[in-house]
Structure formats: structure tokens, C-alpha cells
Structure 1
Amino acid sequence: MLDTSRWPIEMLDVLRAVHLDPKNVRLETADAKVEADIIEDLFVNEDALGLVEGICKIGYLTHETPVVLKRQGKYVMVEGNRRLAALKAIQNPMLVPDFQARISAHASSLPDRSTLAKVRVMVAPNQTEADQLIAAIHTGNLRKPWSPSRQAAFFQAQIDSGRDLGELLDRYPTIDVRKFVFRAHIMNLFKSVKYDDAELQDFLATKKWSRGLSTLARIYESKDFLAITGVAMNANGDVSKKISNTVFKDIATEIVRGMYEENINTRSLNSVSSPRYTQLMKELRQIVEDANEADPSVSGDPVPGPRGDISPTEASPEGAPVETGASSAEPPRSAQPIDAVSTSKSRAPAKRPAPKKKPRNLDLGQIKAPEGYPEALKSLLGEMSVVDVQKFPNGTFLMTRAVLEKSIKAFAEAKTIDIKSTGNNQNGKVQLGHALNWLLDHVKSNGPTYLIQVIEGVRTGKLVEYVNSSDSLNAINHNHHFMVDSDQAFSMWASIDSVMRYLMKP
């Protein structure tokens, strides 16, 4: 049991006697060695300036004592780096040039800043006990928690140092270790993919990716994702999956691209019944189905761990199994590139290449109705995102007509414009043709000019084939002899895609 009451207490000079920890898991700059870089990182990425303001306005709160550790004869702050950075900056604002003026302004309100020149600290006997305290504080939610990536990074560091899951469970009994180990390995799993698009490869090295881990969690913790991939973690923390590395690469690419293009985020995946979530799971299932049809041997049973696979409920309180980038058939902590096929079966080429599958859903990834648009329109867009166009081309065509008209009207309404009052109506009623006429006039007057021909083409049918015209959209609604096939339904949507994107940004 951890007993900090026996740890020595010291009063240390904040500028000279105690140093910021270059191994601090908070740091965005993993290789920061110079203290100037560390303090700058804490101000830029961890809002140390807000702490400066709080100390100067409220006072330095002593209810939690920072923890130091002696390394190579020097005291290093292992818990309380933000506080130490703030205290150092108060004593010498020039340590953080980009924040100097603001720090000085806050510090000027202090009656005597020299009272903050020393800090009371506890001295941890060793790194292991310091780590136990740090984990209890930051992953036990006793105060401001680390971000998901920071929480995962802490336990990933433990795994990388050679500790297994069982050891971590014993070491941190009050913490949901499985959840954090799972998260850490999921990050490694996605990072180990060699993406074909360089922009996606670069994306995984950005802060935007790290800050989007709550979005990723909504995917990998879902029962649908687990069922599609067959991922499970055994009691040792080893992972198995039913899909090949090649198929996982395709799945990871679909997810990462959606996050990169920002059509997959916590808002679009706000529930398992949201249109984007439903559409994403359909896309992932299709990837697996296509791979199985091309070569049924690429998928196999998960590799059981030494003590057997655990159920999703055992793996995580959210009901998601803890999945990682390693499996009991692969060396842990040395992720194999996902684009490399790992089994002899999956290396065997298919005897006959399968024909390329036709898409089944319209791509509505970039079509997100603003908050103020009517719920009826949002609901229709959601239904369109999951409809099987191959099965229901005429239904899709009808919905395309409806969503185009409704979107133009919502766009005008958001700009407080009554289309009917502009003269575009018939007997006081505004139909699709009237809406397109108004939109064309609006774009001619306000831009963007590139949409003029697009709208003109849809409105008249002169610039494109007939099926992409408003006349065909009206025909599908009124002419009981008119019909379309799936290719024409996709073509119609493609012809108005740029218009729809414009209408979603009033």
C-alpha cells in the first residue's frame, strides 16, 4: 500500500533547486530536454498561463503537495509540473517570451512575489512509488484528468518498460487499467498501418489526431466494430482479431480519412443510431464482405491467449473488449506493419479476382446540416445516408429531389429570405424549379461563380445528361412511367454534391 506520510518534505527554490521533468507525460514535445522548451510546451498546450492567473488572483493553494524525485543528484518535479512552470514564470516572466506580458500583468497584482519563490514538496523514494501516486491522481479523476492520449500514454509507457497487464492490475487496483491499456494499444494499432495516402500518414503525427481519440473511442468501443473486426483481448493483454492485417488497413484507412476530413467526429457519432455512425458501420462491413468474397481464406479465428479470451464485458466497463495492436501470435510492443499480410493463407493470391463492388450508399460525409436547419431535413439526410442505392434507386432519386428542394429553402430561410416574395412561385407555391431559379440568381449576385454552371446544368439539363436535370427530378415525382437505375441515382447525386455542400454553409 502506498504511504506518502513517510515521504520527506522539503522547501525548494523554484528557479534554482527544482527542475521540470522532461519525461512528463503531459508534454506534447516528447523529446524536450531543455527546460525552456518544457516550460513553453506547458504554457502552449497545458494552459499554465491559466494557473498563473489563478495563483495571482486566488493564491497558491497548498491542499496538494507537489512530488519531486532525485535524479542524478538533482530534484526533478514528477507531479506538479504545471504548478512549477507557473511559479517559475511568476518569478521570471522572461522564461516564456510569448507569454511574458500577460504573466507580468498577472504577477503585478501580487503584493510580494518573493513569497512564491520557494515551493513545499514531497520527495518520493523511487520512480515506482511516484508512478503509483501519479496514476492515482490523474487516472482516478481526483482532479483535472489527463486527456485520453495522455492517460493512454502513461500506461503505454508502463507496458513498453516490460510490465504486463496482470502486473499493472496489481499495481493500480483502483484504476480501470484494461481500458487504458486498450486505448494505448488501439493507438499503436492505427499508427502501425502504412497508409497509402501520405496525408493520412502525416495526420497521425498531429495534435489534431491525438485530440480526436474520443472520436476513435466511440468507434472501437462499439459492439458493431468489435463484431466486424472480431477483436478481443485475453487476460494477458494480448489481442486477436478475425480479419487480416490487409483488411484492417482498409478499415483503418476509412476511419482515419473520415477523422481527417472531419466528417467523423463526436458530433456526427453522437449515438449508435446517428446517420454517420450507421453509414460508417455499413462501410466497414462492406470492406470485410468484399475481402471475404475475393478470398475467403483471409479471415480466420482469433488467436486465443494463454488464459483464454475474455468477454467484452470483462474487458471494459463500457462493454468494449480491450483491443491492442499485438496478438498472442505476434510479438507485443513491436507492431507488425498492418499492410503486411501475416498468415500463409493470406499470402496466397485469389484464384480469380473478384469484380469491384459497386457502392451501395450515397457519400454524405461532407453534407452536415447546420444546427438551425429544420429537423425534417436532418432526418431526411440521415435516411439518405443509409439507403441501399443498388436496391432502391428510384427511392433514392425521389429522396434526392426532396432533399435538394428542402435544402435550398432552408438555406434561404437561414438568410431570412422568402423565396416566394422574390417572384419565384406559382400560385403562391414554391417548388423545386422556383427554388433553383432563386438559387441561381443568388449565386450570380453573391458567388461563388463556379456554382453558376452547376446549378444551370441541374436546372435546365442543357449542360449535362437528362437524368441529371431538374426535369428528371420532377419526372420521378410525377411521371408514373419514368424510372432510373442505381448508376443514374449516383450520377444525379454527384451532379448536385457541390451545390449541397454550399447549401449546408449558409
Structure 2
Amino acid sequence: MQVIDTSQWPVVKLDVLKQVHLDPKNVRLGTADAKVEADIIEDLFVNEDAFSLVEGICKVGYLTHETPVALKRDDKYVMVEGNRRLAALKAIQNPMLVPNYQARITACAATLADRSALSKIRVMVAPNQTEADQLIAAIHTGNLRKPWSPSRQAAFFQAQIDSGKTFEELLSRYPTINVRKFVFRAHIMNLFRSVKYDDPHLQDFLTTPKWARGLSTLARIFESKDFLDLTGLKMDENGRVSKTTSDDVFKQIATEIVQGMYAENINTRSLNSVKSPRYTQLMKTLRQIVTDAKETGVADSNSHASAQTGSKSGATPTHGSQPDSEKGTGTGGSAPADSTGDKDDASDNQDKPKKHSNARKKKQRNLDLGQIKAPDTYPEALKVLLGELSEIDVQKFPNATFLMIRAVLEKSIKAFAEAKSVDIRSTGNNQKGYVQLGDALKWLLEYVKNNGPRHLIQVIEGVRTGKLVTYTNSGDALNAVNHNHHFEVDPDQAHAMWSSIDSIMRYVMKP
């Protein structure tokens, strides 16, 4: 492997307007091999957002930690790495180079104490195009620099707050960075950590790298309008936050989310959109928690707490002050707040755990479809049916749920077979040319026996015959609820049926 050694490349200082030129062969350009520099600079501003560099340079200065690379062509210096920077510097020296941005560039440049200090730029001079191309490829395609994870980004700004920086100071210190977003994320993590979970497994989970890596999953929840509307979390311009849910209700909400992340049925795959079955199911569950709390009259207790995000003393609010995410991200400018319970006497709190414990033990209203996502190649009708199944209230409509489970199971097996280019009818599993649930299960059993995994054999056999499970977990019961007008099931039996086919459903969703 050839080592790219730039230590011997000369470094020169060039006038940005007179001595160094934009590269007409720059791969960024939408204008193929542009010959006129005016066209190149316009392209970089329109298509590569060079204006954001103008703003950054004028606000925080020109950063010199990375030296751009030039090459001599026909006795002229041409920038081969750093064209956006050069375009920005040229525009600062002469805003008329970019007519459509002239007023904005002029306004930014007016804030500079000495514009002439940016009139020259230090560049490395590559010996030839080949070595220049090797360096450019290594920089842009080699992924040599590992980007910070979302949790690491949030942790950086949390550390700034912990060291005593106020929210206003951070906004001023990092004008080109979306501070609100990262501080919001940091406080969200703190908010969930501050909850005293009843299950010690969940308490320990929040100290693990797995939890930290799950911030992207958590962000899909807390940045959603549904979640912010539900909790009433918002932040004012001074960094003070408030919420409409009580600490106890937020504890139930947080427990539901953390439990799902711990069990791995809440992740970026299952929450791939606000229309995904798992997202829909989660929001219904969270709404039910809030509704149940309102019915018991405890939803609004302790709900108006607010706090300043950071202080001069360096003390971060122990359990609160969540700045809101950035404007324009669909979060509605809201953010989580204090979730700490009041330090009441033990006697005052004796009845509360029982009340909320009972609320948490209420029957689950929706089936858990967190790990069930139809592949893109499966029919749209099946995807729609899965979405409807995830939303149905099992407690109110157990028999309708049972009927939908039957339909989903049969259709999913057929979609799986179709993805394998198999016509189940041609395998002999049919009744007068029609493939019914029993035929689909029999074919799947044969397929798994021949191809694995073997652990599914008993599961499929149990559902198909009912010999290894209770009757209401069998295929015959699924047929009975569809055909027998005297047969019915209750919500617990509907949940049990879904549990019995969960591993089958996960398997057929991965053809």
C-alpha cells in the first residue's frame, strides 16, 4: 500500500483573488468543466451552500486546522481541495462576484474587524495531479475521521453545561452549530436517567453503552410532534422548560419507552416512520397512560415545573430543563422538562405507588408488532393490514383482532412463499386449487424442516395442530373464529394467539 506523504509538499501563501483559482474540474460542480470562474463560484453558492461558509468565517473566523491543496496548471495555481473555502473567501473580498448573494455577503463581511486579513490563504502545493487525486480520494472516500455519535455530540454540550456555561453562552460561543438541538438531546438523556424505574433491569440499562447508542431511537420519539403534544414539553427563549404531565405520569411514559428499547422492540427499524406499526402502537399506549392518569385525577400534579438550562455556578438542574430541538425539525419548539418527584414524606407517598402500579398493570390494548415489518417487496395490502392490526384495541375488539391475526398469518406465509418463487398450490398443499391457512402452515412446516431453522418446527406444528399449545393458540381456533358462529375469544386469548405466532411472523418477514 502506497503511503500518502504530504510532509514534503511546499506551503505557500496566495492572494485569494489574484493568485489562486477555482478548479473547473472540481467533482462538486454541477456545471461540467466550467471555464468561467464566475460560473464556478455561482455553482458552489447555489448547489454547495458556500454561503454557509461565509457566515461561519465571519462569525468564528477562518479555521486553519486543515490546509487546502493547490496544483500548478499552466503556470497558474488551481485549488483542487478546498474550493468551497476559496469561493467563500473570494466572495468576502468581493461580494459582487456572486450577484444573487451580494447583499447577504456584504452584511456578513461588515462584521469583520479586518477583511484584508482574509485576503491571502495558505495552501499546500501538490507535486502533480496523480498525488493530489490520491489525497482527495483518501479525504473524501476513505472515512478516515470517525464522526461523533449522536450521544457523543449531546455529551459534549452536556459537559459544557456541567462546567457552568449557560444556554445563552453556548449559543453565543457556537454560532454556526445548532446548539439547541444538541443541548436538547443531552437533557433528554438526563430526563430519562432521572426517573426512578421500578424494574432494576431498566435502571441498570440506562448506564450501558447500548442505551447511549440508542439515542437515535429515542430522538425519533422525543422529536415527534405526537410526543411533544402528549407531554406538553416546551421551552421558552430563556431556556426554561415546562410540561403538562406530572412526574408520575412521565415515569410511566419513560418506563414504556425504556422497556421497549431494553427488549429491542423499539429501535430505529421499528420506528422507521410515524406511520410504522410500532410507532403507532407506542403512541396509542402513551396516550392511554395519560388518559388513565386524567381519569384518576393525577395527570396534572407537579406539571408546571421549569428550570434554567445551565447556570453560572455550573449546577445543571438535576432532573429537568430540556432545551427544545432546533426550529425547522418538526418538533414544534418543544422540549422535555423536570421529571423529578417531590420529596414528600414517606407517609404522603404510601398510596401513590399502588395507584400507579395498578395503572401500569392494566391490560395491554394493542398487540406488539415492534419486530414485524413487511419487506418492501411484499404486497401493499399486507402492509396496510399489519398497520391496521397494530392499531386495533384488543380489549374492545378481541374477536376482530383474532380474525385479523388469522388473515395476517395466512397472507404473510403466502407473501414469504411468493418471495421464494414458490406457488404453494403446486406443492400439493391446497384444497380444490385454493390455498387456505392450514395449507399455508403445512407448506411452511415442510419448508422449515428442509431449510431450517429447526427451532420453528415445533412452533409451526403447535399452531397448525394445537397439540403443543392450548386450543385458542391453534390454527383450528383461528379457523373457528372465522367460521363457527358459536365460537368467541377474550382479549387475553387474542394476545396469547399473537404471542404463539410471533416467532413465525418474524421469520416470514425476512425472506
1:253 positional shift? 2.8
CA 1:58–1:381: 2 relative to 1, 3 Å:
farther
- Partner of 1:484 in structure 2? 489
Match of 1:316 among 324, 327, 340: 327
Instruction: Check whether the contact 1:179–1:322 (CA below 8 A) recurs between aligned residues.
Output: no
- Partner of 2:312 in structure 1? none
- Partner of 2:478 in structure 1? 473
Q: Give the secondary structure class of the aligned counterpart of 1:276.
A: helix
CA 1:351–1:412: 2 relative to 1, 3 Å:
closer
Q: Give the secondary structure class of the aligned counterpart of 1:498.
A: helix
Give the unaligned 5+ runs of structure 2: 14-62, 69-125, 128-144, 310-320
CA deviations 1:119-172 (Å, max 9, x no partner) are xxxxxxxxxxxxxxxxxxxxxxxx997543333233222211212122333333
Counterpart Cα distance in 1 of 2:198 and 2:438: 43
- Partner of 1:366 in structure 2? 371
- Partner of 1:390 in structure 2? 395
1:277 corresponds to 2:283: no
1:397 positional shift? 1.1
Q: Which amino acid aligns with 2:259?
A: R
CA deviations 1:346-381 (Å, max 9, x no partner) are 836259845741111011122232343333222211
Counterpart Cα distance in 1 of 2:289 and 2:177: 36
Counterpart Cα distance in 2 of 1:63 and 1:341: 64
Instruction: Check whether the contact 2:178–2:326 (CA below 8 A) recurs between aligned residues.
Output: no
- Partner of 2:385 in structure 1? 380
Please identify, of 224-233 and 442-451, the stretch whose mean Cα deviation from structure 2 is larger.
442-451
Give the unaligned 5+ runs of structure 1: 1-51, 65-77, 84-109, 112-142, 328-335
CA deviations 1:308-364 (Å, max 9, x no partner) are xx9999963324335356x4xxxxxxxx8x5x5556798362598457411110111
Match of 2:193 among 170, 191, 195: 191
Match of 2:436 among 415, 431, 438: 431
Alignment of 1:37-76 (within 5 A): 55=4
- Partner of 2:449 in structure 1? 444
Instruction: Check whether the contact 1:360–1:389 (CA below 8 A) recurs between aligned residues.
Output: yes
- Partner of 1:408 in structure 2? 413
CA 1:291–1:62: 2 relative to 1, 3 Å:
farther
1:493 corresponds to 2:495: no
Counterpart Cα distance in 2 of 1:313 and 1:186: 10
Q: Give the secondary structure class of the aligned counterpart of 1:296.
A: coil
1:418 corresponds to 2:431: no
| Aligned residues: CA RMSD | 4.2
1:347 corresponds to 2:349: yes
Q: Which amino acid aligns with 2:327?
A: S
CA 1:242–1:369: 2 relative to 1, 3 Å:
same
Counterpart Cα distance in 2 of 1:61 and 1:384: 67
Instruction: Check whether the contact 1:156–1:184 (CA below 8 A) recurs between aligned residues.
Output: yes
Counterpart Cα distance in 2 of 1:264 and 1:299: 29
- Partner of 1:168 in structure 2? 170
Aligned residue pair count? 373
Alignment of 1:243-262 (within 5 A): 243-262=245-264
Counterpart Cα distance in 2 of 1:231 and 1:193: 16
Q: Which amino acid aligns with 1:425?
A: N
Instruction: Check whether the contact 1:424–1:435 (CA below 8 A) recurs between aligned residues.
Output: yes
- Partner of 2:236 in structure 1? 234
Instruction: Check whether the contact 1:151–1:180 (CA below 8 A) recurs between aligned residues.
Output: yes
CA 1:60–1:149: 2 relative to 1, 3 Å:
farther
CA deviations 1:264-310 (Å, max 9, x no partner) are 33343233222221111112222333444456266343235689xx9
Counterpart Cα distance in 2 of 1:277 and 1:61: 56
Please identify, of 353-362 and 378-387, the stretch whose mean Cα deviation from structure 2 is larger.
353-362
Instruction: Check whether the contact 2:261–2:267 (CA below 8 A) recurs between aligned residues.
Output: yes
Q: Which amino acid aligns with 1:160?
A: D
CA 1:491–1:154: 2 relative to 1, 3 Å:
closer
Counterpart Cα distance in 2 of 1:254 and 1:279: 11
Counterpart Cα distance in 1 of 2:10 and 2:508: 52
- Partner of 1:179 in structure 2? 181
Instruction: Check whether the contact 1:244–1:346 (CA below 8 A) recurs between aligned residues.
Output: no
1:194 positional shift? 4.2
CA 1:394–1:188: 2 relative to 1, 3 Å:
same
Counterpart Cα distance in 1 of 2:250 and 2:259: 14
Counterpart Cα distance in 1 of 2:350 and 2:293: 13
Q: Which amino acid aligns with 1:248?
A: F
Q: Which amino acid aligns with 1:482?
A: F
Give 1 or 2 for the bigger CA radius of gyration.
Answer: 2
- Partner of 2:305 in structure 1? 303
Match of 1:453 among 455, 458, 477: 458
CA 1:190–1:351: 2 relative to 1, 3 Å:
closer
CA deviations 1:229-260 (Å, max 9, x no partner) are 22222333233333333433332232233334
Instruction: Check whether the contact 1:231–1:323 (CA below 8 A) recurs between aligned residues.
Output: yes
Q: Which amino acid aligns with 1:373?
A: Y
Q: TM-score, normalised by structure 2?
A: 0.62
1:154 corresponds to 2:156: yes
CA deviations 1:445-489 (Å, max 9, x no partner) are 344444333322322233333332222222322334433332322
Counterpart Cα distance in 1 of 2:178 and 2:410: 50
Instruction: Check whether the contact 1:225–1:281 (CA below 8 A) recurs between aligned residues.
Output: yes
Counterpart Cα distance in 2 of 1:278 and 1:181: 27
Instruction: Check whether the contact 1:233–1:315 (CA below 8 A) recurs between aligned residues.
Output: no
Counterpart Cα distance in 2 of 1:419 and 1:57: 64
CA 1:144–1:505: 2 relative to 1, 3 Å:
closer
Counterpart Cα distance in 2 of 1:499 and 1:54: 52
CA 1:212–1:54: 2 relative to 1, 3 Å:
farther
